[in-house]
Structure 1
Amino acid sequence: MLDSNRFTLSKCRKILLVLLPCVVFASFVYLNSGETKPRQNPSWRVSHAGLTLFTKSPSAVTWRDGDGEVTDEWWLQESERDSHSVNPVLPPIDVSGNTNVTMKEFHVSASLETRIEAETRQEKPAVKNESTAASKTRTANWKIMRCHGRGHNEFVNSCARRLPQALGIGVKKCGTGAFLFFLGSHPSIAPRIGEVHFFDKSTNYEKGLEWYRKLMPFSTKNQFTVEKSPKYFVAPEVPQRVLDDLSSKTKLILVTCDPVSRSISDYVHESLIKSYQRRRNITRKASAYDIRTTFSDSVIKPDGSVNAENALISTSIYVNHVQRWLQYYPRKQIYFLDAELMKRDPYQVMRELEEFLDLPSYFTRQHFFRNKKTGYFCLAKPRERCLPKNKNRRHPSVDEKTLDTLRNFYAPFNREFAKLVNKHFLWMDK
């Protein structure tokens, strides 16, 4: 009798273990069955007047951070990002899934951010305990994302890929990524993230201007499209190509830094590329770079003179390359950005860029904060973010003799450069 009871209890336990998950699942379905939900896409999209509007669900409220500003990462879908850009690449599309959206009202708020009130309706909701399948209405405030996710200026209903009105032409390893990182947060700037190398690579240039335009981010008529490729600065054929294909009114931005530090950073960068190519058995193309075991061996010849033919050195002779650019563009159309000043006070540099590009005033000191771990400035608005960790790589140790040799070598070129552009740079005081 006892054995029979044990057998029965054991059997009941097994049945309960099977039934319990089913009961829990059924309860969950019942509690959430008040309304049939549309397909669960990563985000829901609405288009109007050539703009694309993103939100996480049909009933989502206006997306804002603590300062009332919009952040790109909240609404972009990973699968629909340009591989080199944080800007959406989709054309305007209708709302996803089985939701209809009725546009009711437009108005511009005091913050100059265009908003739209949208009424969302379910086409065929299955509402529990209701005798009819009448549409259930919900109302939500939607934020218009100005092409690349930032609301500013007056409402503009044109959204397209445009050729850049401003180019970051260099200098390599002087902070071109940092300048675009900061400037790109301005609502009137549509930054092209990633280097295109259209004007300096013949294989790209031969693809034509339309190919180049299609690589640009979406922008409105009131926005500046900015693209940067540091090799534009040193490639002899680029100034003429830019003048021919873009405009004589194109604004140019040149970031300069201490030539010795730049050369060492370039050595670190090129050494990593060389190491990667060696590991992958990739044949290294002919290059103006002479990368050896140490930095000193790469830039100093056996007789003790500087190897000026090495691109590590020649790229840092700024005056040689600027003279070429000034043959095509006047001094007033080139902003010479002091990388040392940007490290110390990015706010001042961004304010100068606003004036140079004739942009609406946007930046304040509250837009920047210093990262206590790295010592470098980051963006505080519209949300806190810093440059990627692969920036500001550590430099190898270089003996003082090599450093002194290079400083003495660059000194006359630096003075000539400062005189030519009529500007003193903080990095010259180091």
Structure 2
Amino acid sequence: MSPAKPETRKGCVRAPHFDILWLPRAAIKSVEGDPSDCVVVVGVSRPKMALTVLTIMLLSLFLTFHLIYDSALYSLHAKNVEHPRPPILLLSRRLYPSAASRLPQAIIMGVRKCGTRALLEMLYLHPMIQKAAGEVHFFDRDDNYYKGLEWYRMQMPRSYPGQITIEKSPSYFVTPEVPERIRAMNASVKLLLIVREPVTRAISDYTQLRANAATASPSMSTSPTKSFEQLALFSNGSINEAYRPLAISLYHNYMHRWLEVFPREQILIVNGDLLIEDPVSQLQKIERFLGLEPRISTENFYFNETKGFYCLRNETSDRCLRETKGRKHPRVDALVVSRLRKYYGEHNQRFYELVGEDLGWPEE
């Protein structure tokens, strides 16, 4: 006996790819007042297609959930980190590593009183840079260095992959063991050396040393501090080459050690005098050196008339460096300044030859 053909009901449309079975009203318990003329039982005639549709729906829900989760995670992190990494699709913890302390990929190695702190704070304006909070002094102090790289890493800020971690310790430049120690950590590390006109740097160094001595020993008021001129020159007028602030300004004496360990292209010379006058030009040069997308512009700075130098600005706040930065220098006899510049003339030329760059410092 051939199976009965399904009854065709007026107004009922059979959807493609689906089997429709009409059941007589007597076969079910109809609800009182229900106007339905028929009850439909639907079956899928193409299970592969149905499985595909179901898979797409589940995958869409899965991706939506992860996008919501990732956005929430980013929002929480943004409250604690000034420069969070933009969120990406979170498919697993392995594909989305969390922020972690990492060894620095770049180091500001000096020079003291040339603007290392200002440089670090300015670079921190870039969203792909994270900075150490203070001077770590890992490579120049044996008691820290022998604590090991894991201790050093834990002194670094938390960062995301792709961000560059930077620390600065000005005494790295003048400490003999440091170049080899840094290379042992990372032979491809990028090094930033910020320098200023040598006499200006020496006077700034003297100013800080005098301020520190006055703070540490208030009784010094009964024993007047020697002037810069008295410390820089002997009574017969010759240069006191042993005076530490003058010795540090002999950049070539220290630079040759670094070039024996690192290729020149791994060291960027930053002009500290230009960083004060036109910070953006120097920072853009550093962005290129570090392989970063240009993000720092003139909009990130404003000139503070009271302090006499540029302060920093980002999307949320304006800020200047501490009061100890940009101290007013004492007035130094012009003849002493001229004599010192002549003294540094030959030494500057030796530094220019080492780095392959003429910084144009005055020689009188």
Query: 1:339-358 to 2 correspondence within 5 Å?
Result: 339-358=272-291
Asked whether the equivalents of residues 263 and 313 of structure 1 are also in contact (C-alpha less than 8 Å), the reply is: yes
What is the aligned partner in structure 1 of residue 32 from structure 2?
none
* Deviation (angstroms), 1:193: 2.2
Cα distance in 2 for residues equivalent to 1:278 and 1:367: 39
Asked whether the equivalents of residues 284 and 296 of structure 2 are also in contact (C-alpha less than 8 Å), the reply is: yes
What is the aligned partner in structure 1 of residue 294 from structure 2?
361
- 5+ residue gaps, structure 2, are 1-63, 89-95
Q: 1:231 to 1:210 in 2, by over 3 A?
A: same
Larger helix fraction of residues: 2
Structure 1 window deviating more from structure 2 (364-373 vs 180-189): it is: 364-373
Identity %: 36
| 2:78 aligned counterpart, secondary structure | coil
What is the aligned partner in structure 1 of residue 204 from structure 2?
265
Cα distance in 2 for residues equivalent to 1:174 and 1:292: 23
Match of 1:217 among 137, 157, 166: 157
1:221-266 deviations in whole A, cap 9, x for unaligned? 111110000000001111111111x211011000000111111111
Q: 1:189 to 1:172 in 2, by over 3 A?
A: same
Q: Give the RMSD, CA atoms, in angstroms.
A: 2.6
Asked whether the equivalents of residues 196 and 271 of structure 2 are also in contact (C-alpha less than 8 Å), the reply is: yes
| 2:165 aligned counterpart, secondary structure | strand
Cα distance in 1 for residues equivalent to 2:297 and 2:67: 29
Asked whether the equivalents of residues 71 and 87 of structure 2 are also in contact (C-alpha less than 8 Å), the reply is: no
Query: 1:307-346 to 2 correspondence within 5 Å?
Result: 307-346=240-279
Cα distance in 2 for residues equivalent to 1:381 and 1:199: 32
Q: Is 1:296 the counterpart of 2:238 in the alignment?
A: no
What is the TM-score of this pair, normalised by structure 2? 0.74
Asked whether the equivalents of residues 268 and 395 of structure 1 are also in contact (C-alpha less than 8 Å), the reply is: yes
Asked whether the equivalents of residues 85 and 160 of structure 2 are also in contact (C-alpha less than 8 Å), the reply is: no
Q: Is 1:106 the counterpart of 2:67 in the alignment?
A: yes
Cα distance in 1 for residues equivalent to 2:320 and 2:118: 9
What is the aligned partner in structure 1 of residue 110 from structure 2?
170
Q: 1:224 to 1:117 in 2, by over 3 A?
A: closer
Amino acid at match of 1:293: K
Asked whether the equivalents of residues 250 and 333 of structure 1 are also in contact (C-alpha less than 8 Å), the reply is: yes
1:122-155 deviations in whole A, cap 9, x for unaligned? xxxxxxxxxxxxxxxxxxx946429733234553
Larger Rg: 2
Cα distance in 1 for residues equivalent to 2:193 and 2:332: 27
Cα distance in 2 for residues equivalent to 1:409 and 1:429: 8
Query: 1:361-380 to 2 correspondence within 5 Å?
Result: 361-380=294-313
1:277-329 deviations in whole A, cap 9, x for unaligned? 33499xxxxxxxxx951111111122211111121111000111111110001
What is the aligned partner in structure 1 of residue 44 from structure 2?
none
Cα distance in 2 for residues equivalent to 1:222 and 1:415: 39
Cα distance in 1 for residues equivalent to 2:276 and 2:361: 10
Q: Is 1:116 the counterpart of 2:74 in the alignment?
A: no
Asked whether the equivalents of residues 183 and 261 of structure 2 are also in contact (C-alpha less than 8 Å), the reply is: yes
